[in-house]
Homo-oligomer: A and B are copies of this chain.
Amino acid sequence: MTEQAARRTPTLEDVARAAGVSRATVSRVVNGIATVNPSIRSAVTKAIETTGYIPNAAARTLVNRRSGTVALVISGSDGSADQLFRDPFFGRITGGVVQHLRSRTMHPTLMLADSDAARREAVDFVRRGNADGALLVSTHAGDPLPQLFVDAGIPAVLFARPAVPVPISFVDLAHEAGAALAADRLADRGCRRVATIAGPADLPAANGRLSGFQRAMERRGVPYVDVVRGNFTTESGERAMTELLERAPDIDGVFAANDLMAIGALRVLHEHGRSVPDEVALIGFDDSEPARLARPRLTTVAQPVEEMAARMTAILLDQLASPGIGLTSVVFDPELVLRESA
């Protein structure tokens, strides 16, 4: 009997017995409720120490209906799991989320939603009470995930505006403004024969960058911009640049919708003996690690990913704290990071 008691992890009851008070009083002390006699409080505190008591999270959650966890759902096109996590983007988002949550003593649980089953599982995870809400990082167009969460009535916030209209809060970047920054830089350098390597046509972010670039270039007196679509990979950047060089050998400025495509373009330009930035100026988007490592170092449009992720988290926590608070969307401003390529 004593042996059993010694082996079991101590409960409130054990602490109460050790301190000679009731379970309720120990609970009050543990939860920092003020209306406890100081001498009793210290007796309880001591009993907690000696017993090595630690509150049971499940029991608390059962009563409180709060898990202290949020689901961080990474949604990729089906079957793209491995590739997803290699993207430094993901790491930066995670970092921003963790940083914001930790000060609130909350933690993110990571989920991958790359199939119908996985999406359902993600929703059920929250419905079962494993998490209080969800942060959705959707990387492809027409992702059904946001709608699933809305339908289930789960508090959720999206990273990047949904491709199809969904009543959900989100954070996003001013993609058009970012592309305009790149356009102005190219124009300032005197580029007249410019092109852009755009992203997939079904992604709002890609389209924003494209139209923003075109519009800003037009404002700067360059009405025609050559456009080739890529899919955000280095290889697609290589293909696109090859095509652009064929179509316009006298090209003198290129804006790629992300850094990886820019690096692909850089390689092709180098192979064709075009010097960057002297003959062709090149600007990327994202300010990712590879941009810093490229030779020449890539001038690029930076998005404050960590900050955006932190804000996304803050919005979710607000919604959890005051249900029915209404939707919020925040659009962040990009910045041009000048390096060597333009």
User: What CA separation (Å) do A294 and B263 show in the bound complex?
Assistant: 9
- Residue numbers in B under 8 Å from A110 (CB-CB): 72, 94, 98, 107-110
A333 → chain B closest CB, angstroms: 20
- In order of increasing CB-CB distance, the 9 nearest A-B pairs are A85-B95, A58-B61, A57-B128, A58-B62, A85-B91, A109-B109, A57-B130, A91-B91, A54-B127
Taking residues whose C-beta sits less than 8 angstroms from the other chain, chain A's interface range is 35 or more
Q: Which of B56, B81, B105, B306 contacts A82 (CB 8 A)?
A: B306
Question: Which residues of chain B come closer than 8 Å to A289, judged between CB atoms?
Answer: 86, 88, 289-290
Interface membership of chain A positions 167-210, coded 1 if the CB is closer than 8 angstroms to chain B and 0 otherwise:
00000000000000000000000000000000000000000000
A196 to chain B, nearest CB (A): 21
Q: Would you give the shortest CB distance from A127 to chain B, in whole angstroms? A: 5
Residue in B56, B125, B234 whose CB lies within 8 Å of A129: B56
Point out the residues of chain B lying under 8 angstroms from A295, CB to CB.
266-267, 270, 295
Residues of B within 8 A of A85 (CB): 91-92, 94-95, 98
How many copies of this chain? 2
Interface centre among A86, A110, A270 (most CB of B within 10 A): A110
Contact A87 B81 (CB under 8 A): no
